[in-house]
Structure 1
Amino acid sequence: MKKYIFAFLFLMVNLVSYGQTKSTIKDFDANFAHTVYFWLQNPDSQEDRTAFETSLQKFMDHSAYAKTKYIGISPKPSRDVVDGSFTYALIVTFESAEAQQKYQDEAAHKLFIEESSHLWTKVIVYDSTGI
């Protein structure tokens, strides 16, 4: 029972700490959306999760180009079409493809990769522009 209580509290802290809130959300910019899925090597390691979340949140706090900044975790899939295999999701929006390229080149992004790339086994990125 203690294990379930700890898991629930951990989930709630993460949702409150890293999800969007009315005070932190910015307008979604449909010009360019950048969606990234991460699979951690050791998703059950609290130490790895804390290191990843800390580094990712620091990156989002210091990105000069990202507008919407959403960090999420995979919920338990409720339907066959839902892929719940990832550990973390990041959704950021930009005013343009050029702003997204500047984001790729900024020091905060490079530091995040340096600090965290050893923690993941797979990353998939989906970029899209509004219609």
Structure 2
Amino acid sequence: MIKRRSFIHQASMLAAAASAFGFTFEQSQSHHFSTQPKNKNRMLQHNVFFYLKEGVNAGQKLAFEKGMKHFLSSVSEIDHWEIGIAAGTAPREVVDHSFDYNLTVRFTSIANHNIYQEHPAHAVFINDFAELWQQVKVYDVEIL
């Protein structure tokens, strides 16, 4: 009985601590638990995959990265952004390692995403670097 009380006490303390840091626990239909911010407004996640042309050199890639960082830092409507490259995970039939860069941008609203799309810095970035890519794929996701 003492072990059970200890477990219940520890679980209560964990829930209280999570709540104090602004998280609530929600159980999904698949019975997995996740933490969700208290702000229930759904965010938009804009995922961009860049497939560069053959022959793009290290200097051009560095300029591309710097240009992307400068552009993203210029748009105040962006809530959060990250730049990545294909991970060195094991090849599997469902994994696409063929892209060169990934850009993940989060917005608090579709309206902010629309401002980003029309932002002059976005147009400058495309104009300056479009010659480096052969393909771009975009996946826009509403975070649940």
Q: Deviations over 1:13-48 (max 9, x none)?
A: xxxxxxxxxxxxxx9x85111000001113661022
Whichever of the two has the greater Rg, that structure is 2
Structure 2 letter corresponding to 1:115: D
Question: 2: distance between equivalents of 1:127 and 1:45?
Answer: 29
Structure 1 pair 44–111 and aligned structure 2 pair: CA distance change class (3 A)? closer
- From the superposition, tell whether residues 43 and 124 of structure 1 become closer, same or farther in structure 2 (CA, over 3 Å): farther
**TM-score computed with the length of structure 1 as normaliser:** 0.73
Q: Deviations over 1:31-88 (max 9, x none)?
A: 1110000011136610220121111111111112111110001122314122110000
Q: Deviations over 1:76-130 (max 9, x none)?
A: 2314122110000000010111110000001111111011101100000000112
User: Which residue of 103, 106, 114 maps to 1:101?
Assistant: 114
Written as runs of structure 1 = structure 2, the 5 A alignment for 1:58-97 is 58-80=70-92, 81-97=94-110
Structure-2 change in CA distance of 1:89 and 1:30 (3 Å): farther
Match of 2:64 among 39, 48, 52: 52
Alignment equivalent of 1:119, drawn from 117, 122, 132: 132
Structure 2 residue corresponding to 1:42, chosen from 40, 54, 65 = 54
Instruction: For 1:122 and 1:106, locate their aligned partners in 2 and report how far apart those are by CA, in whole Å.
Output: 21
Question: Secondary structure, in 3 states, of the residue corresponding to 1:127?
Answer: strand
Q: Percent identity?
A: 32
Higher strand share: 2
Larger RCO: Structure 1 or Structure 2 (Cα < 8 Å, ≥ 6 residues apart)? Answer: 1
Count residues in correspondence: 104
CA RMSD of aligned residues (A): 1.8
| Aligned equivalents of 2:105, 2:123: Cα separation in 1 | 16
| Residue 31 in structure 1 maps to residue 43 in structure 2 | yes
Provide the rounded CA distance (Å) in 2 between the counterparts of 1:54 and 1:30. Answer: 30
Alpha-carbon distance between aligned partners in 2 of 1:98 and 1:130, rounded to the nearest angstrom = 15
Q: Which runs of 4+ in 1 moved over 3 A?
A: none
